[in-house]
Amino acid sequence: MSRQNLSSTLLSSAVDELAALPGVGRKSALRFALHLLKQPKENVDRFGKAIIRLREDIKYCSVCNMISDVPVCPVCSDKTRERDLICVVESIRDVLSIENTGEYNGLYHVLGGIISPMDGISPSDIAIESLIKRVDGSDVKEVFLALNTTMEGETTSFYIYKKLKGFPVKISTIARGVGFGDELEYTDEVTLGKSISNRQLFIPSNL
Amino acid sequence: MSRQNLSSTLLSSAVDELAALPGVGRKSALRFALHLLKQPKENVDRFGKAIIRLREDIKYCSVCNMISDVPVCPVCSDKTRERDLICVVESIRDVLSIENTGEYNGLYHVLGGIISPMDGISPSDIAIESLIKRVDGSDVKEVFLALNTTMEGETTSFYIYKKLKGFPVKISTIARGVGFGDELEYTDEVTLGKSISNRQLFIPSNL
């Protein structure tokens, strides 16, 4: 659908902006725009302002770099969490995913990226130095590296591992294995191999 | 994903607004919000303002009700189009779809809805009166009803047909039949039946 066909520059601009969202094509963007046109003015105004304010006023936790409305985020200031355990993740979204599991009760450290020479991202571009400072001279007992198993993720994990080797902290990583519901037949051989060499004690459950 | 988990009211508000777009769930809305957070401030500002301006400043053609930046839209003021043919559609999106086919060179009339007693939409709630006025005493030779084949669409077509019966205009509707690429086996019987009773002369093509 070309720009000219939309018969209005206002509509074209809105569709252009909406189509820049990840995974949104021009057809969906047009659907969004026509939907917004049918809404009351106040709602659309609130929509636009929420987006603008999000980007303008967003703050990040001074300790862990997570999105936060206050200088130190609720997780970092929560005294009931395990304060000697730090989970290192690439992005804000990873924190949200891990929080949703309900299985983790420690603190976080958001790197804000991953070492990727191909994309020109070096260790100094991400929050590794501040992680070392958090560990240095503190009571932190364990640094839990929860990065993706891509080459960049492995590189970053290894870099942090080397940086932390001199400190008296345990360095752990997430368990790899066959996913729940996955079939052995269709599991790639590296995963299946690792899940055999790292096999765990069988614990019967009543589920 | 609950609101509390997002750790920021700014992020929560933006996700709530984005999740109200048609077909967008909270997961996609969060993806959109985190994407916007990574963009330069100016871009996000432009995004929000484009949406707000779309709703605030949008104008409609005074003749056909199509979205337009000028009082009379480019189609209605185009002297090269067939000015004695009016295509009646339910919505703006239908105009865009028909324009995209490149098969139509007449004018339009956007009803802005469809007669639907269930939803409390009566003939006076949609632009039927202005259609009659456009036809009355004019040179219009044909009114082409391009409404959906739902019960509401058929009702609206029939209502307009009755209203226009007294005028010297031809009233046509879009051809129904088996779609290109559709298989006869899976075509519903009403469509297949109509496509047999309305069968057309076979014209060999070199496609």
In a domain? residue B69: no
My answer on whether B92 and B185 are in the same domain is: yes
In a domain? residue B63: no
Residue A113: its pLDDT value, please? Answer: 93
DSSP characters for chain B? --SGGGS-HHHHHHHHHHTTSTT--HHHHHHHHHHHHHS-HHHHHHHHHHHHHHHHH-EE-TTT--EESSSS-TTTT-TTSEEEEEEEESSHHHHHHHHHHT---EEEEE-SS--BGGGTB-GGGTTTHHHHHHHTTS---EEEE---SSHHHHHHHHHHHHHHTTSS-EEEEPPP-PPTT--GGGS-HHHHHHHHHT---------
My answer on whether A167 and A108 are in the same domain is: yes
Nearest to B61 by CA among B79, B74, B51, B52: B74
Please tell me if residue A6 touches chain B, with a CB cutoff of 8 Å: yes
What is the domain extent for residue B38?
3-57
Please tell me if residue A102 touches chain B, with a CB cutoff of 8 Å: no
CATH code of the domain containing A15? 1.10.8.420
Judging contacts by C-beta atoms under 8 Å, the chain B residues touching residue A98 are: none
Res B3 pLDDT > 70: no
Which of 122-141 (B) contact A at CB < 8 A?
none
Q: Using CA atoms, how far apart are residues A64 and A109, in angstroms rounded to an integer?
A: 4
SS3 label, residue A91: coil
For residues B45 and A101, the model is more confident at B45
My answer on whether B45 and B108 are in the same domain is: no
My answer on whether B189 and B123 are in the same domain is: yes
In a domain? residue B184: yes
In a domain? residue A69: no
CATH code of the domain containing B186? 3.40.1360.10
Residue A11: its pLDDT value, please? Answer: 92
My answer on whether B46 and B108 are in the same domain is: no
My answer on whether A86 and A177 are in the same domain is: yes
Please tell me if residue A74 touches chain B, with a CB cutoff of 8 Å: yes
Render pLDDT for B158-196 as a digit per residue (tens, 0 to 9): 999 999 999 999 999 888 888 877 888 888 888 888 888
Q: Using CA atoms, how far apart are residues A105 and B86, in angstroms rounded to an integer?
A: 66
In a domain? residue A91: yes
Contact A10 B58 (CB under 8 A): yes
Render pLDDT for A153-202 as a digit per residue (tens, 0 to 9): 999 999 999 999 999 999 998 888 888 778 888 888 888 888 887 777 77
**Percent above pLDDT 70 for chain B:** 95
My answer on whether B45 and B86 are in the same domain is: no
In a domain? residue B73: no
Residue B1: its pLDDT value, please? Answer: 40
In a domain? residue B35: yes
Residue A182: its pLDDT value, please? Answer: 81
**Using alpha carbons only, how large is chain A's radius of gyration in Å?**
22
My answer on whether A112 and A192 are in the same domain is: yes
> Average per-residue pLDDT in chain B?
89
Three-state secondary structure string covering A134-196: HHCCCCCCEEEECCCCCHHHHHHHHHHHHHHCCCCCEEEECCCCCCCCCCHHHCCHHHHHHHH
Tell me the nearest-neighbour CA distance from B189 into chain A, angstroms.
31
Strand partners for A191: none
In a domain? residue A66: no
User: How many structural domains compose chain B?
Assistant: 2
My answer on whether A85 and A50 are in the same domain is: no
Q: Using CA atoms, how far apart are residues A60 and A52, in angstroms rounded to an integer?
A: 17
Contact B36 A22 (CB under 8 A): no
Which among B34, B47, B56 has the least Cβ separation from residue A93? Answer: B34
My answer on whether A190 and A94 are in the same domain is: yes
My answer on whether A87 and A157 are in the same domain is: yes
Nearest to B11 by CA among A74, A86, A134: A74
Contact B54 A30 (CB under 8 A): no
Contact B17 A46 (CB under 8 A): yes
- In this prediction, residues B124-130 reach a mean pLDDT of 95
Q: Using CA atoms, how far apart are residues B39 and B85, in angstroms rounded to an integer?
A: 47
- A vs B, Cβ pairs < 8 A, gives 174
SS3 label, residue A60: strand
Contact B14 A51 (CB under 8 A): yes
Contact between B96 and B68 under an 8 Å Cβ cutoff? The reply is: no
My answer on whether A48 and A88 are in the same domain is: no
Q: What pairing do the DSSP bridges indicate for beta strands B106-110 and B82-89?
A: parallel
Handedness of CA B100, B103, B105, B110 (dihedral sign): negative
Contact B67 A7 (CB under 8 A): yes
Contact between A90 and A77 under an 8 Å Cβ cutoff? The reply is: no
Residue B198: its pLDDT value, please? Answer: 79
Residue A3: its pLDDT value, please? Answer: 39
Neighbours of B98 (CB within 10 A): 18
**Percent above pLDDT 90 for chain B:** 64
